Structure 1
Amino acid sequence: MEHDYYKEYYELERNHWWFVAREGILSNYIHRLIEQGKLSSKDLKILNVGCGPGRSSEYLSKFGKVTSIEYDEFCCEFASKKTGLEIINGSITELPFEDNSFDLVCAFDVVEHVEDDQLAVKELKRVTKKGAFVLITVPAFMDLWSHHDVINHHFKRYKIKEVNLLFDTINDGNKVFDTYFNSLLFLPIYFFRKVSNFLKLGQKRKGSGSDFEAFKPGVLNRILYKIMYFESSVINRKIRFPFGVSILYNWKKF
């Protein structure tokens, strides 16, 4: 991603309906794991891989001590100055931590940026403590591929069965829960991207060219947030959506 885009994404993470709704869905899901006694409510050691401009590390800090790592050196420096967070410059495919180090390892929309996604998942699993969790999100369905994915340097979009295959290479853990999300808006987003691809709208935008530029804070932004955030109540009842724009995947290490 271009350096100027990180400045743009710093604001988007804190204001755009998709980021804010994802934050709520993930925060509520983690809170539910704690309520159920699956995660400790004290001294939780959390690794946030690919923290980007830093908002995800800020809200994860509600649950424990967060260690943040980001691949792009400029983004590390920019996010550290903006947030005051200590961010390690490093790669998901070569995490600078010992085996069995963390209670919760998070990678929110990160794995799709890595060509060797199998190695990325292997590293996430390696640094997770026995009996602890990996929680990731990734974009779903190659039919939704657009200029947004190109600009964000994605290698692919996934189906749940493909994520299962990434995690099921050896018998070292099991899936806790998986679901698609951002499902209620799937059809309008699908058609928006098809039209955007046909008209090459992404290339015509002045900023990053991502879909996130299409909506600005305002009434529509709040409505879309509420629609997507509503899915949190469904997910926390362990009800799985059969399709969606993104995937949430939770895995536990033996």
Structure 2
Amino acid sequence: MSARASGGNTRSAPDRGSCSAPSRLGRSSTWRTAASSCSSRTATTRPSPTSSSTGWSDAVERAEYGRMFTLEDGLWWYRAVRLYLADAVAALPSGAAVLDAGCGSGGNMVMLAGHASRVTGCDLSLDAIALARRRGLPRLLSADVNALPFRDRAFDGVVCCDVLECDEVDESRALAELARVTRRGGRVILTVPAYQFLLSEHDHAIHSVRRYTIVRLRAALRGHALRVLRLRYLFGWLLPAIVGYRVVRRLLPGRRSGTAPRSDLFLPPGPINQALLGVSQAERAVGRWLPLPFGTTILAELEAV
């Protein structure tokens, strides 16, 4: 799922049939055409450091991506999110070409390979791309979601997880680009974090600066060639526990201004991790008929028009 503007996963891991799904990512002429036919759209790089804090910024981000790579195959959050994503991409046609825009360390791409014939991943972070390559994913490139280097209507579906909230993302430009590279009638699937008061140390570490409500996300989508099929909150059943955890974290002695964020991403003990996954799976089953009015993540299922 995504982590940065460049973006990728910032929070979670596999599910049944996700990381265990066989990879079907062989190279094809479609990949070469999609990636090269927009040579004028070049990938951008991060601005040069301009403040004293950026001395640790790159190191913190690199460490956080490494932590995500280690955890995303086991941590309950990642596994639960992939179940929701698998539900959403099930509507894609067989033989679909899918883009993971902001692929992070590649965990979602492995899952997507079980649902699509061609999966392409891009992320602005070279560290994230290097980690994704360790999964044996061949179709990867460094690119900016604000100016994707793909031809118009190149993909049947686009997945973009936890990217819009990042400081390097121009929200409107990114949404326009996601719509542009998706064929008419194709699906764009987004996740964004919910509620600004839940902003965490992990968010700071991977440059996430804003969180959303459904009202705010719906407003951001207006004016783009994307029709809303469904907007819903995820992890509402766990919201009280997550709020409580964040409150306790903030009561602890905080970091000094100008010092590195302390990651709050970790794998709970096995029984707790499995219990959290079980609660999430139960909410997913009930949520098909009874969506919740609150949660910690928002899932958007959109159609390109």
**TM-score computed with the length of structure 1 as normaliser:** 0.88
Deviation at 1:117, TM superposition (A): 1.3
Tell me the equivalent position of 1:43. 95
Question: Counterparts of 2:222 and 2:252 in 1: how far apart (Å)?
Answer: 40
Q: Residues 68-217 of structure 1: matches in 2 within 5 Å? A: 68-113=121-166, 114-170=168-224, 172-200=225-253, 209-213=262-266, 215-217=267-269
Question: Counterparts of 1:48 and 1:137 in 2: how far apart (Å)?
Answer: 12
Q: Is the aligned partner of 1:56 residue 2:134?
A: no
Deviation at 1:4, TM superposition (A): 2.5
Deviation at 1:88, TM superposition (A): 0.8
Question: Counterparts of 2:101 and 2:184 in 1: how far apart (Å)?
Answer: 19
- Say which SS state the counterpart of residue 221 (structure 1) adopts: helix
Question: Are the structure 2 counterparts of residues 146 and 3 from structure 1 closer, same or farther at C-alpha, using a change threshold of 3 Å?
Answer: closer
Question: Counterparts of 1:249 and 1:16 in 2: how far apart (Å)?
Answer: 22
Work out which of the residue numbers 242, 246, 249 in structure 1 matches 2:293: 242
- Say which SS state the counterpart of residue 212 (structure 1) adopts: coil
Deviation at 1:81, TM superposition (A): 2.7
Question: Are the structure 2 counterparts of residues 5 and 92 from structure 1 closer, same or farther at C-alpha, using a change threshold of 3 Å?
Answer: same
Tell me the equivalent position of 1:27. 86
CA RMSD of aligned residues (A): 2.0
- Say which SS state the counterpart of residue 176 (structure 1) adopts: strand
Tell me the equivalent position of 1:225. 277
- The residue type equivalent to 1:160 in the other structure is I
Deviation at 1:73, TM superposition (A): 1.1
- Say which SS state the counterpart of residue 233 (structure 2) adopts: strand
Question: Counterparts of 2:253 and 2:155 in 1: how far apart (Å)?
Answer: 43
Deviation at 1:3, TM superposition (A): 1.6
Tell me the equivalent position of 1:12. 71
Question: Counterparts of 1:199 and 1:151 in 2: how far apart (Å)?
Answer: 18
Deviation at 1:217, TM superposition (A): 4.4
The worse-fitting range, judged by mean Cα deviation, of 58-67 and 20-29 is 20-29
- Say which SS state the counterpart of residue 99 (structure 2) adopts: strand
- Say which SS state the counterpart of residue 64 (structure 2) adopts: helix
**CA contact under 8 A between 2:163 and 2:169: conserved in structure 1?**
no
Question: Counterparts of 1:174 and 1:160 in 2: how far apart (Å)?
Answer: 15
Question: Counterparts of 1:208 and 1:28 in 2: how far apart (Å)?
Answer: 34
Q: Structure 2: 5+ residue runs without aligned partners?
A: 1-59
Structure number with the higher helix fraction is 1
- The residue type equivalent to 1:249 in the other structure is A
- The residue type equivalent to 1:133 in the other structure is R
Deviation at 1:240, TM superposition (A): 2.3
Percent identity between matched residues is 28
Question: Counterparts of 2:235 and 2:151 in 1: how far apart (Å)?
Answer: 35
Question: Counterparts of 2:204 and 2:145 in 1: how far apart (Å)?
Answer: 20
Deviation at 1:202, TM superposition (A): 7.8
Question: Counterparts of 2:148 and 2:195 in 1: how far apart (Å)?
Answer: 28
Deviation at 1:179, TM superposition (A): 0.2
Question: Counterparts of 1:5 and 1:143 in 2: how far apart (Å)?
Answer: 21
**TM-score computed with the length of structure 2 as normaliser:** 0.74
Deviation at 1:208, TM superposition (A): 7.3
Question: Counterparts of 1:13 and 1:202 in 2: how far apart (Å)?
Answer: 26
- The residue type equivalent to 2:195 in the other structure is F
**CA contact under 8 A between 1:28 and 1:236: conserved in structure 2?**
no
Question: Counterparts of 1:83 and 1:6 in 2: how far apart (Å)?
Answer: 17
**CA contact under 8 A between 1:152 and 1:210: conserved in structure 2?**
no
Question: Are the structure 2 counterparts of residues 87 and 130 from structure 1 closer, same or farther at C-alpha, using a change threshold of 3 Å?
Answer: same
Offset from partner CA, 1:106-144 (integer Å, 9 cap, x none): 101111114411111111111111111110000000121
